Structure formats: C-alpha cells, structure tokens
Structure 1
C-alpha cells in the first residue's frame, strides 16, 4: 500500500475530504480538480503566512529582547549574524512541510510537487542556519588575533563550502529522484570537477593549516612580499584570499596559498626585538683616498670635532695609513658610542666592491628601537653626520647616500 493510500485511509471523513466533497458537489465538473488544488494551496499559504507572522512578530522579538540581557558574546553575535532569524524561519517551513501530506493526500501529483518545493526550501534554510552559526562562532574567535584563529578561520570557511556542496547534492538527488547508490555514483563522478573548480579553497585550506602550525603569520602582522612588491599589515587571512592594508591605506588581496609558496618577510619578530637594522652606504670618490702624512694627521688631532676620537683611539690610529681607513674607524667608534645604537647586535663598517662611481663604505648596525619614525630619524642623523664630517678627513662623497 502506497503512502498516499495510507494517508487517504487515515484521513477519511476529515475536513479536507469534506472540502473536496463540497467543491465537487457545488462546482462544475471541468473546474472541480483545479478548484480543489487551488483551495488547498491557499490553505497552506495562509497557514504559512500566519506562522511566519508569528515567528517574526513574537518568537523573534522575544529572542531579540532577551538575548542582549545575557551579555553573552556568542549569543549577541547570533543576533548580528541573523542566526535567530534563520532558525525561526524553519518553524513555518517545517510545519507546512508536515501538513502537505495531510492536505494533499488525495492529489498525489500536487502532493509530490509541493513536497518537493518545501523539501528544497527546508534544505536551503537549514544550510543557511548552520552557515550563520559558523559565521557567528568565527566572528567571536577572530577577536583574538592569534595563529590558532587562522587555522580555525580556514577550517570553518572550508566547512561552509562543504555544507553548500552537500546541500546542493541533496537538492539534486531530490529533484532528480536519485537513489542512494546513484547519488554516491554521481557524487564520485563530480568530485574531480569539484577539485578543479575549488582548487583555490583547497590550497587555501592547506595554507591556513600550515601557517597556523608553523606560526609564521597572523592578522595584524606587518609583512613584505617581494613577488608583488607589497608591504603592509595583514587584515584578514581567509580560505581563498588574504587582505593586506598597504602603507598608503589602500587594500590589496592575494591568494592565501601564496603566503607559503613565495617569499614573505615578517617584520613582527623585529618589532618584538625592539631593534631595527641600518644597512646603508655612501660612495667615496676614489681620487680623494690618500696616504696620511704626519702633518695631516697632526692637524686632524687638534680639530675640535675629532679631538675626542683621537684621544680615545690613539693606539689604533697609529696603525692606520689612509684617510679612508681612519674615516672608517671613526664611523665605527661613533656608532659604538651612539646612545641610540644597539650594543648587543652586530655593528660594523665595511668597504664594498669598488664601482665606476667610487668606493662604497657601508654602515651595518641596529637601532635600539623598532619604531619606524624613530628609526628613520636616527638613520638620517647618523648619515648626515657621516657626510658632513667626511670633509675633515679629506674625502669626497659621490651622489650622497645610497641604499
């Protein structure tokens, strides 16, 4: 015995049967069927509208009034992400879905169509409900800018895609009336296509887990990506894209998997070390590099600007034979005594390979602050001093300071 016949026996002499009987007795035969179906559709529609009005004006309002008083962050985020709205919408849909067999049992074709429609709507709204819960939970957890939230964020985004795909497959199986075996055959056949279509989400999911486990990057980190010549602060790392705020306040997005497939420089360790590297050079005119005569050296020693240096470095200076060597030694001494240069990190002044422009002399040291503005002021002050005092050593600079 079919489901329709069972329902017909159970509901015999019901209000619906009486309605069908009344229509068949009082209306012409050629419009009886359409009138019966139309009247039942109107009944379902009226019930749906009444229940929908009830859930919007009563249930939802009660939830929106009570929840804020709980001071619970997750529950209040449910309001923001419309979780309660999605949940209460299931109420009229679910009731009408259950009523369709009781109302349309005498019209199997109409029953099948309406049952199909309500089934699809229920699946869609259930999926939307679960996605809104995921969004709410993700929003709460992302308040903590940590490595754990990256893995959680990518996992939840991936979970949302799975929910959408699964819901789509269920809808397809309902529409085309696929059996369980045919459904899984269809699912297996389409998986290869899905992997190709959703290549970026899959790679992003792997990248997110990798970044979280290695603790390489997190939201709020200042980074530089040479591939894109991109420097800025990470605003968000999600399944497919990473959002970066550039120095000029513009926003750039890159594929998330690029964070593990290309070179990324993270400035955060430098900030936590409270130091920043100076690595800059000036070019000395090779024609101005000379051996020092005793007379020239004596004149330098009585110079007020260099007196303290010569006093503290007397023994070392006696071994230096050129003005460039003396100048290089002076720069190192000056940095060693600079209050804003770190003494615990590498400090050196070295000559680089000569160029057609002259001889580069490079300063390599670290400031004792990682603040960008303070760093630039310190670096500028050091090189302004180096350039201005080079003339006291009889040296000429070429084209000023170079990076």
Structure 2
C-alpha cells in the first residue's frame, strides 16, 4: 500500500500543488484506500462467509452452536476485520499513525468486550438447557465475570487515552475502593447474596416462594446478581432484591414437591351442647357405619365391663374421621395424619384435620381439601352432633315465627 509521503510527492511533482494541499490529499487518498479495503472485506464476510456459517450451523445436529447465532457472535466478530485493517495500515498514515492506532485499538477493545459478553450469555443459554441449571443457576456468576471484563476494558481504554500503562492505572484504583463500594453497594450485596443462596441451596428456579414484605407469592423465574424475579399467581411479576432474601425471611414451598404431599390443616367447630355420652343404643346405631364397626365393637365390650370408659359421640366422630382419612385414596399415608381436639372456646369445640394430600397441584389440592371437608361437615349429623354457627337472619326469622306460633297456641 502506498504511504502518504509517496502520494504527497506524486502530487507535488506532477500537479505542482501546494505542500499543505498535497499532504491533506495524500492523507485522504490513503485513508480512502484503506477504508475501501475494510468495507469490501466486511461486506464479503457479511454477504458470503456469515450466511455460509449460518447454513452450516442450522444444518448440523449440534444444539450449542445455535446459541452463537442467536446472540450474533459471528456478526460482532466480523466487525473486527475492518478495524484490524485500519490498525495494521496505520503506519502508512505517517503523522496520523499513533492517533489511528489509538482510536482503532479502543474500538477493538469495545467490540471484544461485547463479544465476551455475548459468549457469556451463550454459556448461560447452553447451561439453562440442563436440569442442573434449575438447582444451581450460574447467571449471577456470569454477570460478575461480564462486569469484570467491562471494568478491565474500561481501564485499558482510559489508560490508552492517557498514554499510560493499564497496570499503573489499576494500582491507583485501590484508593477509590471506598467510593466504588459505596456506588456499587447493591451490586456487592447482591453478589454476596447470590453466592449464599446458591451455595446453601436456599433458592432454585421454579421454587414457589412467599415474601409478603415485597408482595411476592409465586414461582421464581430468574435469579440474577442483583434481583430475583418472581411470577405471582395473579400473573404479575415481582422483582425482589437478592440481598433481601438473606437479610429478611421468606417461605420456600419446595418441600411440598420433595415430600410428595401438601398439607390440609382445618378445623370444624362442634356445638358443645350437642356432645353427650353414648348409650348402648347409640353405639349399636353407629355400628352400622362400616368404617368404625370394629372400633365400636371393642368400645362396647369395654363399656360393658367399665362404665367409666363410656365414649362420647364426639369421640366416635373423631374415630370416624380418622378411619375416613385412612381410607381416602388421595391422602398420603406415609406422612403424619391425625384428627385432634383443640382448646374449647366460646364458639365450640374445634376438631382439627391434619393430613397431607398425595397430589400437590394447587387446583387438585383445593378440590381434595374441599371434598374432605364437605364430607366432614355432612357427617356431623350422623353422630347427633351440631356444627357451631353464629345466628343468621334466617335463624332469627325462624325463631320469631316459632315464638309467634307458640304464643298463638297458648292463646287458643
């Protein structure tokens, strides 16, 4: 390639123009030639080489290289070619050599940093296709690497503009550590939180978490260095700071998936006035119920021998509920299930069902729970018990009507 000096001498000797105009013209001609070569090289890559690479990648059976196309790694790498041409051709520009080299080196560093960031995203894309990615996400770590690369490139660019050694500039940054720690406080806290969450296996993608302080109640979509993205059950998205998951408490419902059961814990209030000791007649009546037939036979024998062991209708009802849960096909028998009494209150005697369903799907779980308690409530009358319920308008109306009928009957 012809140097500027050669072009300048040619113009001076042949066209007899001024030296200044010849120098400017020589510079423009040399730069134009280099620019044409750079542009032609880039166009050749863009029109012929890159489409050929894309066809090859789309035609093979490999999956990981598809992400290179998705992130446009090859397109970004192609931009380096014209810059390398300008950098290598800089010595031909004479006085402008250092300026051209400095400018092109800065642009090359920026593009390389961009390519490095894309490659890190490709790594995350490939890793996300594996099952282990849900348990051990690496997006936060890759973001740290990306930031580190960008910081190093920024330091190199500043050093290039200042004309100094990057290591000298880097040593001076130590004095600014306090400032950076203040500016990037959330980033540093998020990094530490991300490491703790991952190492301690506190959170995974797909976990159902509940964090009322931040309005989060749903499945984890994404775990990054600074934030955790949660898709709530009302289809809204909540973004929670990563460090908040360490500094505050949150509930992770992953255990219901791992244990294979989802808890039912509800109570039914029994009217205390309906509880009574069972007579032999009552026990024989209840004995017709298959689920507690064997239980009542043993109780009848016990009460025949010892009146102090007489059982109440509430006790028979509890035994019935225990047998009902034991025979229910959707109740997990491998996890604790009990029917217990709680402290009596002015609202009656609470009888609590504590059990776990086999199906942990929310919709199915709610259907099973509803089915169980509909049966629990409906079965109360079979044992001469009443469910406690505050008087309603309907009850008051019936009471008034009954009182009027009673008064009318007395008057008659």
Q: What TM-score bracket applies, with the shorter chain setting the length?
A: 0.7 to 0.9
- Whether 1:390 and 2:380 are equivalent positions in the alignment is yes
- 1:353 counterpart (332, 343, 356): 343
The SS at the match of 1:314 is helix
Partner of 1:302: 285
The SS at the match of 1:302 is helix
CA apart distance, 1:158: 0.9
- Whether 1:103 and 2:103 are equivalent positions in the alignment is no
The SS at the match of 1:397 is coil
CA apart distance, 1:180: 4.4
Query: Matched residues in 1 for 2:79 and 2:348: separation?
Result: 77
The 8 Å contact of residues 146 and 219 in structure 1, kept in 2 or not, is answered as: no
- 2:81 counterpart (87, 91, 100): 91
Q: TM-score if structure 2 supplies the norm length?
A: 0.82
The 8 Å contact of residues 48 and 96 in structure 1, kept in 2 or not, is answered as: yes
Query: Matched residues in 1 for 2:131 and 2:179: separation?
Result: 35
Partner of 1:16: 4
CA apart distance, 1:299: 4.0
Partner of 2:164: 178
CA apart distance, 1:206: 3.0
> For 1:312-369, what per-residue CA distance to the aligned partner results, in whole angstroms no more than 9, with x for missing partners?
3333474355443333333223222323222222122222234443332211112233
Compared with structure 1, are the counterparts of its residues 168 and 320 closer, same or farther at alpha carbon in structure 2 (3 Å cutoff)? farther
Query: Matched residues in 2 for 1:193 and 1:338: separation?
Result: 64
CA apart distance, 1:289: 4.4
CA apart distance, 1:304: 8.2
Query: Matched residues in 1 for 2:157 and 2:53: separation?
Result: 31
Query: Matched residues in 1 for 2:115 and 2:172: separation?
Result: 26
Partner of 2:271: 285
CA apart distance, 1:162: 0.6
Compared with structure 1, are the counterparts of its residues 75 and 285 closer, same or farther at alpha carbon in structure 2 (3 Å cutoff)? same
Query: Matched residues in 2 for 1:399 and 1:93: separation?
Result: 83
The 8 Å contact of residues 348 and 364 in structure 1, kept in 2 or not, is answered as: yes
Partner of 1:269: 255
Alignment of 1:68-87 (within 5 A): 68-87=58-77
Q: TM-score if structure 1 supplies the norm length?
A: 0.83
Partner of 2:242: 256
Partner of 1:138: 124
Q: Which runs of 5+ in 2 are unaligned?
A: 304-308, 392-412
The 8 Å contact of residues 221 and 233 in structure 1, kept in 2 or not, is answered as: yes
> For 1:99-155, what per-residue CA distance to the aligned partner results, in whole angstroms no more than 9, with x for missing partners?
11x2222x2xx3333222211100000111111111112101111132587353222
The SS at the match of 2:368 is helix
With a CA cutoff of 8 Å and minimum separation of 6, indicate the structure with the bigger relative contact order. 1
- Whether 1:315 and 2:306 are equivalent positions in the alignment is no
- 2:208 counterpart (222, 225, 228): 222
Q: How many residues in Structure 1 have an aligned counterpart in Structure 2?
A: 381
CA apart distance, 1:387: 1.2
Query: Matched residues in 1 for 2:335 and 2:134: separation?
Result: 32
The SS at the match of 1:27 is coil
Query: Matched residues in 2 for 1:311 and 1:211: separation?
Result: 53
The 8 Å contact of residues 209 and 220 in structure 2, kept in 1 or not, is answered as: yes
Compared with structure 1, are the counterparts of its residues 63 and 193 closer, same or farther at alpha carbon in structure 2 (3 Å cutoff)? farther
The SS at the match of 1:398 is coil
Query: Matched residues in 1 for 2:261 and 2:364: separation?
Result: 11
Compared with structure 1, are the counterparts of its residues 61 and 307 closer, same or farther at alpha carbon in structure 2 (3 Å cutoff)? closer
The SS at the match of 2:210 is strand
The 8 Å contact of residues 150 and 209 in structure 1, kept in 2 or not, is answered as: no
